[in-house]
Structure 1
Amino acid sequence: MDSDAAGDLQILFSPAEEPPGATLDIVAVHGLGGDAIRTWTYNPKIGKSTTWLKDLLPTKLPDARVMTLQYDSGVFGRSAHSVRENARKLIQLLRDQREDDEAERRPIVFLGHSLGGIIIKQALRLAKQDPAFRDISTSTKGIVFFGTPHRGSDKAKWLGMLTAVTSTMTNRPESAFVEALQSNSDALLRISQDFQSLGKDYAIVSFYEEHAHRVLGSLVVDKLSAVMGLPHEEVMMLGGDHSAMCKFTGKTDPRFNPVWRAIRRASKGRA
């Protein structure tokens, strides 16, 4: 495993340098309250943890370099920066990493959990508009979403009310992301509308959560919000609640099979 990182873009796995070397870049972006490693890691009470991005995915896609973005996504984050600013950070870090490796033309597949999917959509919009990042736009073949609230989530409103009260009591600022993820959010609507014209260029796979959150007693992001409704979009239910849907217990976890296959299909772009 390669432990190098370009700023906050960590490389979890990189194939050997001798030919053919890496033929694909996979970039994972975590969601609200998540973490570059923890979001994608199953931690059993007893035994070894499994970070499937480095422990499982390379066994199926050995020619893929796997990276994960770290950004401040805490509900009470110190950072007050927006989706747009974090999206620009993503493409800046990715550009720098690909320049260093002379891999500007290597195909890309993005993986986004929850808010991470929103950041990816905004990043591709920015990359399309800015010639400095155009190679990221043209090299991207597909996106795999895990419970991304394209239309927002009522549970974000619930979370917003909770954090507002707690923020007042603890004098800790509420993250700007909470408001952005609410249903009917103007920011979310703009991102979704802007992406509609871009989505046709990429293979799109949208996984939606099967199980209710054990505390809330309902889905965090329902199917209606997790699916964009694009004609070529591949839609699939994935076992687990909003958090567990992107954590796999090991190579025998049956939920991993449709995920790695979806990533492989996405790497080929639109048919």
Structure 2
Amino acid sequence: MDASNAPAPRRLFAILALALALGLPGCKNAGGSGNAARVVTLPGESLNESGPQWVVRTQPSAKVAIVFVHGLFGDTVRTWTNGKGERFFDFVAKHPDIAGKVEIFAFGYPSSMFASGSFDIQASAKALHEMLKHHGVLTYEKIVFVGHSMGGLVVMRELLMNRDLPSEVPVIVLIATPQEGAEIARIADHIARNPALSQLKPADRNDLLKILNDDWRAWPERPRVRCAYENRSTRGVMIVKWSSGTRFCDEPPVEVSADHIDIVKPDGPNHLAVVTVTNALRELVLDPALEPRLEMPALKEEGDHLVLELDRLNVSAPVINSGGKPVRFSAVDASHDALVLGPRHPLELPPGSRDNIWVLLTDPAIQAEYQFKLRTSIRPDRIVKVRIPDVRRLQAHQQQLMQGAVAAVLQHVSDPGNAAPWRLAPPEDAGIPDAIVQAVHDYVARDNPDAPESARWIIAADILNELNWHALAARSLQRAEQAGPEWVSQQGVQRLAAITASLSGERRIFASMETPMLDEAQLAAVHQREGLAAATVPETPLLARRLQEIPALRFYGLSLEGDLQQARGDKDGARAAYQDAAVIRPSPSISARLTATGGWRSTSPAIGADPTTMGPLGDLRTSPAATAPTVPQQRVIEVRELAPLDANRASREAPVDPRAVIVQPSTIGR
């Protein structure tokens, strides 16, 4: 019968016998201070004389580290060594399914029963973490902890204090760990004052174990727990009962025919404590089916880098996790600001799932090759070269996008449910331009079902810029920021925003950051490249007419009409359309196109027909040759930040002579 189950008189006798057997001091020492504590060890144990150390290393270095943490009265190495000098570590490391795949680190701390000589659990956990950092254990891909007795509690506290570790810690093994307290603590608590022992009281009398229990149970990302427990008493006392040694186990615990000391001194590889550890490693760590594995069928291997070929302006390259562990990936460090990438920040891919690397090229005419870095959680960064085998194919795709967007907008404005009320709506109705932006976005979403929402708005903004509807492009970029602020911070989108802002006259587009502006040389280059791609779309003439019938969209219809006439070689027709558009909404883009087609002309005798010259931002100023009486007083119009289209004043007041207009960005919000 165990002492713990004996009647009170016999139990008291067993306790006293245990104290005598352990050599615990029950009275003053004969020749010394009455308060001096003697060094006491359990049978088969001695003082910890060795520090933390690697006990098994491999060549080449393995990716998995096992950390052994001993218990009370233990030693870094001797705790795990039997009477023949055979070590627990070696039985694990030599298993045929494990050999060469793990390295083993043994942690040790002062655990002799001095009155003030032992660490408590919290201090031991902190010391463990510092040693793991110092010896490089935390750099391993996977870490498995094996804790004996109090060592198991030290491991649990270490993980709770460092909750970023569990992604690398799939399992811990607790061997004879008092998860509800230990009977020996009640005995020793009466004999030696030791903070480690006081923490091993039953849980209903121990705050630390209660907190440990609550924290562990409430932690959803905790590692799995495998357990082994003793079934023999130590000197008549069952140190860790079944109920205490199995509380946190996720699998049925393994009963080992051994006492509290011998359970970690195995006599061979088939010892059940060893088998518990090796099974945990084989099933939860080393199983090939559990390894993270990425498949990227669109990326081709080429030497030390990958290659992605573009045959369209935007590509979603599949990333598939065919392994058994989550993988994080991101696309970073674009080589050119014409390249927009996603995801920018690490995206976690659960086992068996797929997502995409997203690549958008905002200008296919710049160069034939770009590159970026593919960053994953399972291997070093790899360079991905983005190649354009045939620029003409990208240009064809650009034209296809333009044609699809024109058709989508035409359908929207031709819908009787929209057209009738929109024709009666005031010019400043901001909801109508927003509906046009939404129509382009919806077309993009149908064409790019795998693209993230922010990416769709960015593509829509690029199309709207190609249509020379720069104010609408600014609105689309705002929506991109709302859908994903991290997207608009990258250089490719900032470049697109700079072009949009400089051509529309909007000073600020994004709420979370300043909008860059092009300098004079950059703006001049962009003006030279402003395309007339929409003019080649068959539906464009009808769309231009329909837009001009809607007061809130008349500006965009006139801009489109001017591009059509210019593409046909009718400069006078283009000039007239641009001039009417400039009356409604002056902008650097309209000013530049008006100048390119002959500048402002008027039938008014008071004004004459002198040509205009352009200022640095495309603003219209009078020719130096003009005489004072023919030039109206200059008027400054500030283009505000995505203000409602109240500049469409043609139906309410006399037209403004664009020669008298200076277009400048608003100073509001600077």
Scaled to the shorter chain, the TM-score interval is: 0.7 to 0.9
What's the RMSD between the two structures over aligned residues?
2.4
Indicate the residue corresponding to 1:167 in structure 2: none
Alignment of 1:31-46 (within 5 A): 31-43=71-83
Q: Which residue pairs with 2:219 in the alignment? A: 198
1:249 partnered with 2:249: no
Whether the 8 Å CA contact 1:25–1:67 is kept in 2: the answer is: yes
Q: Secondary structure at the match of 1:25?
A: strand
For the residue of structure 2 that corresponds to 1:116, the secondary structure is helix
- Please give the alpha-carbon distance, in whole angstroms, between the structure 2 residues aligned to 1:155 and 1:175: 13
- Does residue 185 (structure 1) correspond to residue 206 (structure 2)? The answer is yes
Name which of 123, 126, 142 aligns with 1:107. 142
2:62 is equivalent to residue 16 of structure 1: no
Residues 189-235 of structure 1, C-alpha deviations (whole Å, 9 max, x = no match): 1122211233753121011111122x1x24210011111255x3341
Q: Which amino acid aligns with 2:127?
A: K
The 5 Å alignment of 1:46-195 reads: 48-53=84-89, 55-60=90-95, 61-62=98-99, 63-76=101-114, 78-98=116-136, 104-128=139-163, 134=164, 136-161=165-190, 163-164=191-192, 174-183=193-202, 184-195=205-216
8 Å CA contact 1:83–1:122 kept in 2: the answer is yes
Mapped contact 2:160–2:216 kept (Cα < 8 A): yes
Say if 1:78 and 1:155 are closer, same or farther in 2 by CA, change over 3 A.
closer
- 1:256 is displaced (CA, Å) by 3.3
Does the CA-based 8 Å contact 2:184-2:237 persist in structure 1?
A: no
Structure 2 residue runs without a partner (length 5+): 1-49, 291-323, 326-670
**C-alpha contact (below 8 Å) 1:208/1:226 kept by paired residues:** yes
Show the counterpart of 2:419.
none
Kindly state the Cα deviation for residue 25 of structure 1 after the two structures are TM-superposed.
0.6
Q: Which amino acid aligns with 2:243?
A: L
Distance in 2, matches of 1:237 and 1:255, equals 9
Give how far 1:264 is off.
Answer: 3.0
Q: Is the 8 A contact 1:40 1:247 kept in 2?
A: yes
Q: Shift of the alpha carbon at 1:33?
A: 0.7
TM-score w.r.t. length of structure 2: 0.33
Query: Computing the radius of gyration over CA atoms, which structure comes out larger, 1 or 2?
Result: 2
Following TM superposition, by how much is the alpha carbon of 1:58 offset from its aligned partner in structure 2, in angstroms? 1.3
Q: CA deviation at 1:254?
A: 6.1
Moved more, 190-199 or 252-261: 252-261
1:229 & 1:115 partners in 2: Cα distance?
A: 14
Q: Which amino acid in 2 is paired with 1:148?
A: T
Match among 223, 246, 251 for residue 242 of structure 2? 223
**C-alpha separation in 2, matches of 1:246 and 1:41:** 8
Distance 1:190 1:179 in 2: 15
The answer to whether the 8 A contact 2:66-2:103 is kept is yes
**Per the alignment, in what secondary structure is the counterpart of residue 140 of structure 1?**
coil
Equivalent residue pairs, number = 235
* Contact 1:204–1:234 (8 Å) recurs in 2: no
TM-score, normalised to structure 1, is 0.78
Indicate the percent of aligned positions where both proteins have the same amino acid: 23
In structure 2, distance between residues paired with 1:110 and 1:93: 14
